[in-house]
Structure 1
Amino acid sequence: MDFTSEQARHKYDAFVAAAPAAVVGLDMDGTLSPIVDDPALAHVHPDAPEVLVEVARAVRAVAIITGRPARQALALGGLDEVGEAIAADGRELYVFGQYGHERWSSSQRRVVSPRPPAGLGRFLAELPAVLRRADAATAYVEEKGLGVAVHTRRMPDPAEALDRILAPMTELATRHGLLVEPGRNVVEVRAPGVDKGWAVHTLAREQDAGGFLFAGDDLGDVEAFAAVDELAGGGLATLLVCSASREQSALRERADVVVPGPEGVLGLLRQLAEDVGLSRRRR
């Protein structure tokens, strides 16, 4: 792992010391799962289940905070079984789906979800015409129940196609009271009022956390990074981790640690668990 400054190295050491009372929050796509052309095939890295169980022993709780529907995240990550293993160690695994609108935990073992936003049905009905006018009819539309994601990754020039659809999709979403979240060759549309920063603050409060680590890779994680910075301002030991890619650099300059994609994230979590264990043995 690459620390972005000497201060970041000290923040890591402080987080290790605070780990028994800390929460580890993790994005999924691009952080635990490699980015792939078909979102339905974005399974977590093969080592992720074992590493999640390992790091959960070192901290108070682990949370997956993702734009995916919670049930989809559970299936792609094998998180139901991971949660059982974590619960057996007296720890908790949380899944906050659709940016925090949905919630699952290893103790409750059911997804709690609100109703879809009122304007979503009308947005979906008008979306095909908007995409056709933007010469993006072949974009992949992923319906999520509480929102929708339009992916350009499969198109000949994904970045250029994203530029074409962003403005008209934003206009359509605004007209129906919905929020737009651009990302790595994707535009997501969902209900306003809840984001990953809200999920971070909720977890920190409910867990009475003494520290918070968050790892993410894309624009949808900016609010989580900002929330962790706010927790740091309140005295918590914090660490921000960027799962780096060539497609997105927005988080690099805000991060304490930069790692190469999901494999790098898992390597950092392994190192964290090892360092917490060493710290405990020295006491």
Structure 2
Amino acid sequence: MVGGMSRSRRDELPVPTTPEGKDGLAALLAEPRRAVLALDFDGTLAPIVPDPDAARAHPRAAAALARLAPRIGSVVVVTGRPAGVAVRYGGFAGVPALEHMVVLGHYGAERWDARSGEVKAPGTHPGVNAVRAELPGVLDAIGAWRGTWVEDKGRAVAVHTRRTQDPQAAFESLSGPLRELADRHGLIVEPGRMVLELRPPGMDKGVALNDYLREVGAGPVLYAGDDLGDLAAFGAVEKRRADGLPGVLVCSGSAEVAELAARADLVVDGPEGVVALVDALADALEERDGQDGAETHPPVSD
């Protein structure tokens, strides 16, 4: 298994279980300078924790990405979090070799570029402000305060049930009322791992990933995620593959989201496994280049 490997030796590159995944990985290794590594944040680079504000990227995540980034076209993080928060919790700012990294926050509504260190974002959807004001009353009316936790993401509002006595039952009981609340204010509900997020329509990880890949003129793409929100990004990669463009789908495995694992070409052992996979890719490309750290490749675009 990928997860748990020590960096005292080179990590063995895992083999995808599907023909499409094997072809995608082979294309990435053959044409790294046009390849894109795209990653979710929570559950993929950062372990899931009861308090989202306490989430931090795996201790080796930034270093592993910095090893791989100079050898491929682009590294992008696609997350539902605000872009600046993901950058801070990931420790990505100011890391040598991550100068071309991009973080797409709020499902692509925000963008952080390492080159400028700035976050670009549109204004807040008025429905989010209305939901923010009404949500306490809605939760109180259905007796859902005990154990639930509301996360204000600025351009979205999320209700977490992981701290409740029965997280799955609380999740299911809140689903209907929160969808009604979202509908009244022109928002949608994005379900996740014991969380329901109310956010504006029109953007998801698939749209964000597609827009970015078109922008950089990408070739092979590897996308890694862990949650229901990543299904849209999986769909984007699958559509590219149907059009003859190679790609690899990686699931950061957990017992909570079987649907994602069923569609993945490769399942790894959570964030530890994702980091080990990134390290293994860096090892493979270093060996291809002939010596450690010798040859690097320019990014897909400037």
Q: TM-score, normalised by structure 1?
A: 0.94
- Superposition map of 1:165-204 within 5 A: 165-204=174-213
Task: For residue 202 of structure 1, report the CA deviation from its aligned partner.
Answer: 1.5
Task: For residue 277 of structure 1, report the CA deviation from its aligned partner.
Answer: 2.5
Task: For residue 6 of structure 1, report the CA deviation from its aligned partner.
Answer: 4.8
Question: What residue is the counterpart of 1:116 in the other structure?
Answer: 124
Structure 2 CA distance, aligned partners of 1:63 and 1:174? 31
Structure 2 CA distance, aligned partners of 1:6 and 1:196? 24
Question: What residue is the counterpart of 2:245 in the other structure?
Answer: 236
Structure 2 CA distance, aligned partners of 1:203 and 1:100? 9
Task: For residue 245 of structure 1, report the CA deviation from its aligned partner.
Answer: 0.3
Question: What residue is the counterpart of 2:97 in the other structure?
Answer: 85
Deviates more, 1:225-234 or 1:241-250: 225-234
> Does the Cα contact within 8 Å between 1:181 and 1:189 map onto a contact in 2?
yes
> Does the Cα contact within 8 Å between 2:21 and 2:249 map onto a contact in 1?
no
Q: Does 1:63 align with 2:71?
A: no
Task: For residue 134 of structure 1, report the CA deviation from its aligned partner.
Answer: 2.8
Question: What residue is the counterpart of 2:67 in the other structure?
Answer: 54
Residue identity in the other structure for 2:182 = A
3-state SS in 2 of match to 1:245: coil
Aligned counterpart for 1:94 among listed residues 93, 96, 102: 102
Residue identity in the other structure for 2:226 = D
Q: Does 1:163 align with 2:172?
A: yes
Q: Does 1:125 align with 2:137?
A: no
3-state SS in 1 of match to 2:278: helix
| Structure 1: stretches of 5+ with no match in the other structure | none
Residue identity in the other structure for 1:41 = A
Identity rate of aligned residues, in percent? 45
Task: For residue 10 of structure 1, report the CA deviation from its aligned partner.
Answer: 3.6
Question: What residue is the counterpart of 1:137 in the other structure?
Answer: 145
Question: What residue is the counterpart of 1:152 in the other structure?
Answer: 161
Deviates more, 1:49-58 or 1:6-15: 6-15
> Does the Cα contact within 8 Å between 1:34 and 1:44 map onto a contact in 2?
yes
**Per-residue CA distance 1:24-63 (angstroms, 9 max, x = gap):** 1000000000000110110000000100101102211100
Structure 1 CA distance, aligned partners of 2:230 and 2:117? 25
Residue identity in the other structure for 2:60 = D
- Superposition map of 1:13-24 within 5 A: 13-24=26-37
Q: Does 1:74 align with 2:87?
A: yes
Of Structure 1 and Structure 2, the greater helix share is in 1
Instruction: Indicate the structure whose relative CO is greater, using CA pairs within 8 Å and at least 6 residues apart.
Output: 2
Question: What residue is the counterpart of 1:211 in the other structure?
Answer: 220
> Does the Cα contact within 8 Å between 1:2 and 1:259 map onto a contact in 2?
no
**Per-residue CA distance 1:199-245 (angstroms, 9 max, x = gap):** 11122111111111100000111111111112222322211100010
Structure 1 CA distance, aligned partners of 2:206 and 2:60? 27
Task: For residue 64 of structure 1, report the CA deviation from its aligned partner.
Answer: 0.8
Q: Does 1:105 align with 2:113?
A: yes
Residue identity in the other structure for 1:122 = A
**Per-residue CA distance 1:245-265 (angstroms, 9 max, x = gap):** 011112111111100100001
> Does the Cα contact within 8 Å between 1:18 and 1:237 map onto a contact in 2?
no
Question: What residue is the counterpart of 2:275 in the other structure?
Answer: 266
List, as ranges, runs of 4+ consecutive aligned residues in structure 1 with deviation greater than 4 Å: none
> Does the Cα contact within 8 Å between 2:66 and 2:98 map onto a contact in 1?
yes
Task: For residue 278 of structure 1, report the CA deviation from its aligned partner.
Answer: 2.6
3-state SS in 1 of match to 2:150: strand
Residues 244 and 41 of structure 1, relative CA distance in 2, 3 Å threshold: same
> Does the Cα contact within 8 Å between 1:17 and 1:276 map onto a contact in 2?
no
Residue identity in the other structure for 1:211 = P
> Does the Cα contact within 8 Å between 2:80 and 2:105 map onto a contact in 1?
yes
Task: For residue 155 of structure 1, report the CA deviation from its aligned partner.
Answer: 0.7
Structure 1 CA distance, aligned partners of 2:248 and 2:141? 44
Task: For residue 85 of structure 1, report the CA deviation from its aligned partner.
Answer: 3.3
